[in-house]
């Protein structure tokens, strides 16, 4: 299997090396958490004064360590007081009583601790409770377009973008020789995420409703959605649901990293709005695998790609509102806002005006840009950057 070193994520872990927090790598299933931990181990092992204690609890070699006391003894026996000790544990949830053991290691102040685990046990919302707030969470995403192009280095950028738009960023699917097998692999990730990370953890009895909700969201990518709208849309003469249940299931889908929610931001009033959020998939390949060839607005799918890429790059991301106009994204980093419109094709004058006019209406001096499928070098219009989506994804 071809391995792409995910330098950006690795560098983030290196930057917090020896910081006294428990580092936890989270993200959608099969997004590369275990491989990232292996890359970190390789890096740490290059320094002679490091003692790296690495445990992979899903391997036969370590099955005796599924008991907390035995894991504690194994690690303690490998501590070297004359070196820097790094503890890397993959699939930590497989150890019975892991919370107590990890907290004990932390209190001893002898190890720099790094963990991965099933989303069913290490959801973002649970981490502070499990480890008493002493955590650094690194969220990992499926392959970016840049990483995809590293995997397929001989592709032209435009051909590569079309392939990435079709295949998505779940790199395990690249091993399959035909599209149908690749989609089955991706479909399996969705179903495993739903069953193990949601149904089993939260003891959900209505699996059909959960399926209908994630299919509804996949079909409505790029559209503002309220919990009430979902409940009303799924309620029929023979099937009943309510806001509370839909809201809970929606939260579970986001906790498992299958979807990310984006809050609205009132640009003029400079305040956050709670109603009608947008939900984007962690990777658009999940939509292809579950809904097949059902019609999808390419512009909305491009929005999905841009939204997730902005999160990869460390932005806070909101949906912008200016009077009755919508700005696709307000991206904030270091106190600097960037206003972004996303479109499929802006060659039509009316489409171009529809995208550019809301940006022109914003009177502050923060950067503004349109990301579209232009297949051209960057240009400008009235101070607004116009950037091809493939080149923006690849070059930034």
| 275 and 386 part of one domain | yes
Distance (Å, whole) CA 348 – CA 300: 17
What CATH number does residue 53 fall under?
3.40.50.300
pLDDT at site 308:
98
In sequence order, what are the residues at sequence separation of 6 or more whose Cβ sits closer than 8 angstroms to the Cβ of residue 105? 72, 75, 87, 111, 113
| 37 and 124 part of one domain | yes
| 237 and 123 part of one domain | no
Q: Would you say 304 and 285 are in contact if contact means Cβ atoms under 8 Å apart? A: no
The two tokens of residue 192 are: 């495993």
The two tokens of residue 379 are: 């240009």
231 within domain boundaries: yes
Q: Of 196 and 394, which is predicted with more confidence? A: 394
Could you list the residue range(s) of the whole structural domain that residue 257 is in? 179-395
- Residue 182: φ, ψ to 5°: -60, -45
- Residues 186-194, mean pLDDT to the nearest whole number: 93
Total domains present in the chain: 2
Distance (Å, whole) CA 316 – CA 303: 15
Burial of residue 167 (number of CB atoms within 10 Å: 0-12, 13-18, 19+): buried
| 239 and 386 part of one domain | yes
Domain final position from 139, 154, 170 = 139
Distance (Å, whole) CA 48 – CA 22: 23
| 37 and 115 part of one domain | yes
Task: Supply the angle between the helices 68-77 and 98-108 in degrees, to the nearest 10.
Answer: 30
- Strand, helix or coil for residue 375: coil
Q: Both ends of the chain: CA-CA distance in Å? A: 27
What's the whole-model pTM score? 0.92
Distance (Å, whole) CA 368 – CA 163: 28
169 within domain boundaries: no
pLDDT at site 396:
67
Cα atoms in the 13 Å half-sphere on the side-chain side of 92: 31
Share of the chain above pLDDT 70, in %: 94
| 265 and 332 part of one domain | yes
| 27 and 120 part of one domain | yes
- Residues 386-396, mean pLDDT to the nearest whole number: 94
Give the single-character DSSP code of 237.
S
Q: Specify the residue for token string 């275990």.
A: 34
Distance (Å, whole) CA 233 – CA 208: 15
Q: Which residues pair with 380 in a beta bridge?
A: 385
CA 13 to chain centre: 17
Distance (Å, whole) CA 359 – CA 369: 8
| 212 and 335 part of one domain | yes
Neighbours of 373 (CB within 10 A): 21
147 within domain boundaries: no
Is a pLDDT exceeding 70 seen at residue 1? no
Is a pLDDT exceeding 70 seen at residue 269? no
1 within domain boundaries: no
| 272 and 211 part of one domain | yes
344 within domain boundaries: yes
Task: Supply the angle between the helices 7-15 and 33-44 in degrees, to the nearest 10.
Answer: 60
380 within domain boundaries: yes
| 222 and 340 part of one domain | yes
Distance (Å, whole) CA 214 – CA 132: 32
- Strand, helix or coil for residue 82: coil
Domain final position from 139, 168, 191 = 139
How high does pLDDT run on average in the chain? 91
pLDDT at site 324:
66
Predicted confidence band of residue 272 (pLDDT cuts 50, 70, 90): low
Question: pLDDT for 318-359, tens place per residue?
Answer: 988 776 678 999 999 999 999 999 999 999 999 999 999 999
pLDDT at site 40:
97
Domain final position from 78, 112, 139 = 139
Size (the chain), residues: 396
Question: pLDDT for 42-53, tens place per residue?
Answer: 999 999 999 999
Distance (Å, whole) CA 344 – CA 302: 7
Q: Would you say 44 and 137 are in contact if contact means Cβ atoms under 8 Å apart? A: no
| 209 and 131 part of one domain | no
360 within domain boundaries: yes
pLDDT at site 225:
86
The two tokens of residue 135 are: 């955590």
135-139 β-sheet, strand order: 50-56, 84-90, 112-116, 22-26, 135-139
pLDDT at site 237:
55
| 106 and 192 part of one domain | no
Question: pLDDT for 160-172, tens place per residue?
Answer: 999 999 999 999 9
173 within domain boundaries: no
Is a pLDDT exceeding 90 seen at residue 132? no
Is a pLDDT exceeding 60 seen at residue 126? yes
Burial of residue 390 (number of CB atoms within 10 Å: 0-12, 13-18, 19+): buried
Q: Of 197 and 299, which is predicted with more confidence? A: 299
Give the single-character DSSP code of 185.
H
């Amino acid at each position: 299997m071809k391995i792409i070193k995910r330098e950006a994520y690795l560098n983030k872990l290196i930057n917090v090396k020896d910081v006294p927090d428990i580092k936890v790598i989270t993200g959608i299933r099969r997004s590369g958490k275990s491989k990232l931990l292996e890359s970190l181990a390789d890096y740490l092992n290059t320094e002679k004064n490091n003692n790296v204690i690495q445990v992979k609890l899903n391997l036969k070699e370590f099955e005796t360590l599924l008991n907390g006391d035995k894991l504690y003894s194994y690690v303690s026996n490998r501590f070297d007081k004359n070196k820097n000790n790094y503890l890397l544990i993959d699939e930590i949830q497989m150890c019975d009583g892991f919370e107590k053991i990890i907290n004990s290691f932390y209190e001893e102040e002898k190890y720099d601790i790094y963990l991965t685990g099933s989303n069913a046990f290490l959801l973002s919302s649970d981490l502070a409770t499990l480890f008493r707030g002493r955590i650094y969470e690194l969220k990992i995403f499926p392959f970016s377009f840049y990483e995809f192009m590293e995997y397929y280095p001989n592709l032209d950028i435009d051909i590569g973008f079309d392939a990435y738009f079709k295949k998505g960023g779940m790199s395990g699917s690249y091993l399959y020789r035909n599209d149908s097998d690749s989609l089955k692999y991706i479909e399996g990730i969705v179903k495993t995420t739903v069953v193990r990370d949601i149904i089993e953890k939260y003891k959900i009895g209505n699996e059909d409703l959960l399926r209908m909700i994630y299919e509804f969201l996949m079909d409505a990518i790029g559209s503002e959605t309220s919990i009430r709208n979902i409940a009303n849309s799924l309620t029929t003469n023979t099937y009943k649901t309510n806001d509370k249940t839909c809201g809970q299931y929606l939260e579970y889908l986001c906790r498992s990293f299958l979807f990310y929610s984006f809050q609205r931001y009132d640009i003029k009033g400079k305040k956050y709005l709670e109603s009608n959020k947008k939900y984007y998939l962690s990777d658009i390949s999940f939509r292809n695998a579950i809904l097949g060839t059902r019609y999808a607005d390419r512009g909305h799918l491009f929005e999905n790609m841009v939204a997730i890429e902005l999160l990869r790059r460390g932005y806070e991301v909101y949906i912008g509102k200016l009077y009755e106009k919508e700005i696709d994204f307000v991206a904030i980093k270091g106190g600097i806002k960037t206003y972004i419109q996303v479109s499929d094709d802006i060659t039509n004058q009316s489409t171009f005006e529809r995208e550019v006019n809301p940006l022109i209406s914003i009177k502050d001096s923060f950067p503004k840009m349109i990301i579209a499928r232009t297949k051209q070098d960057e240009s400008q219009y009235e101070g607004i950057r116009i950037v091809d989506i493939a080149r923006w994804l690849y070059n930034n």
